[in-house]
A and B are shown apart, each in its own frame.
Chain A
Amino acid sequence: MSAAPETREGTAPIGRRVRLFLRHNSLGLFFVTAFLLALSGQAVAGHAEFNNQLVADGLEPIGFGAYLTTSDFGVDVMENWQSEYLQFFLYIFGTVYLLQRGSPESKELGRAGIESDQDQMVGEHAADDSPRWAAATGWRTAVYSRSLGLVMGTIFLLSFLAQSVTGVAAYNEQQLRQLQAPVSWSAYLSSADFWSRTLQNWQSELLAVASMAVLAIYLRQRGSPESKPVGASHSATGVEG
């Protein structure tokens, strides 16, 4: 957000300030709202499916609140979260070193790597409005220079762990319902159920990233920063619209 709109937001009447806030943050607000709606829809549909199965097995259906605390709902949410955060973690770190000729998702050819302090505006090259840890030296700069990938990677690991914990509980509940023995957490980590859930998510995320990186070489979306300008050549690399 540039300095000028912030100044206008700060001095404008409250109604206008709210409208400006919504407009200036519409990307994040739209996706957070859509996420909550989709998660709610998943919970409603998942609850209905879970109860259908319980009734079919001669068991008692459960309430919506109880369903939200089941491992069945938990594993369905976690398996998607971990794959999304893995996707962004790989993309953030991968695009430091990997290039794609003609793609706006890639840096310019020849700029692979972590780049110079001058290019990255760190240490003595930091500007007046740079984040404090970018201007600092030592471990703070090292951590802050990788903070986006580190946080994405940490969330991936935590949600992957949560998937394994909720997954073994959901799997064992199903095993017991079918009069079969439960398995341990470590045995579940090498089970077909765990890797089927995991890989079906990973393959779709990796396909989406590969599609974006390659299709954006030849296709355009006017006005989107994810695309090159409509008139940019197919060979132009690292150019965003």
Chain B
Amino acid sequence: MSGRTASVAALAVLVTVSSCGTPSERRGRVTEDVTRFERALDAGQPAQLCAALAPSTREELEQAAKTRCERAIGEQGLPRAGAVRSVDVYGGQARVVLEHDTVFLARFTDGWKVTAAGCRPRPQQPYQCEIKSG
């Protein structure tokens, strides 16, 4: 029976920690990628901003604006976000709350990509975001 108990505990630990590093390591990687996104925003580098978007978010942005991402993203009015206040990572999804913005990300093979940005919380409803996937 102690073997079964150990299996339950081991599974819980495995599931909690996940295969992609410890929670603090994952939060660190998410913070790095968001910081890179915010630096590109501050520096007005549309190519880097578009490269940081998840494919479906980029596609939605281009379809809505009927132009290339590099042109469209400058017209979205994304706020200067400021410093990172908190990072939540669950599985392949993350939320980063910054001083003046909230950004959502998803994990891809080549790193964390922004799925939604320019987001404002709404009571009892999903965040309202300037850019997001369809």
- Give A residues with C-beta under 8 Å from B: 54, 57-60, 62, 65-66, 68-75, 77-78, 81, 151, 154-155, 158-159, 161-162, 165-166, 169-170, 172-173, 175-182
Q: Which one of A77, A176, A180 has the greatest number of beta carbons of chain B within 10 Å?
A: A176
Contact check, B106 vs A59: say whether CB atoms are below 8 A apart.
yes
Q: Is B14 an interface residue (CB 8 A)?
A: yes
Interface 9-residue window, one of B39-47, B63-71, B75-83, B88-96: B88-96
Chosen A-B contacts, 13 in total, with CB atoms closer than 8 Å, are A58-B54, A65-B19, A71-B18, A73-B15, A74-B12, A154-B5, A166-B15, A169-B90, A172-B90, A179-B119, A179-B126, A179-B132, A182-B88
Q: Is B100 an interface residue (CB 8 A)?
A: no
Q: Is B121 an interface residue (CB 8 A)?
A: yes
Number of interface residues of B (CB under 8 A): 42
Q: Which of B5, B16, B18, B54 touches A155 (beta carbons < 8 Å)?
A: B5
Nearest residue, chain A, Cβ from B88: A182
- Give B residues with C-beta under 8 Å from A: 1, 4-5, 8-9, 11-12, 14-20, 54-57, 59, 88, 90-95, 104, 106-109, 115-116, 119, 121, 125-127, 129, 132-134
**Which residues of chain B come closer than 8 Å to A54, judged between CB atoms?**
92
Closest Cβ–Cβ distance, residue B115 to chain A (whole Å): 8
Count, A-B residue pairs, CB within 8 A:
114
The A interface, classified by DSSP as helix, strand, loop or mixed, is: helix
Within the assembled complex, what's the spacing in Å between the Cα atoms of A166 and B11?
10
A-B contact sample (8 more), CB < 8 A, given A58-B59, A158-B5, A162-B11: A59-B54, A70-B18, A74-B15, A78-B11, A165-B15, A172-B88, A176-B88, A176-B104
Contact check, B5 vs A69: say whether CB atoms are below 8 A apart.
no
Closest Cβ–Cβ distance, residue A47 to chain B (whole Å): 14
Closest Cβ–Cβ distance, residue A136 to chain B (whole Å): 20
Q: Which of A65, A70, A81, A154 touches B91 (beta carbons < 8 Å)?
A: A70
Nearest residue, chain B, Cβ from A180: B126
Contact check, B15 vs A71: say whether CB atoms are below 8 A apart.
yes
Nearest residue, chain A, Cβ from B108: A60
Nearest residue, chain B, Cβ from A152: B1
**Which residues of chain A come closer than 8 Å to B8, judged between CB atoms?**
78, 81, 155, 158-159, 162
Contact check, B14 vs A57: say whether CB atoms are below 8 A apart.
no
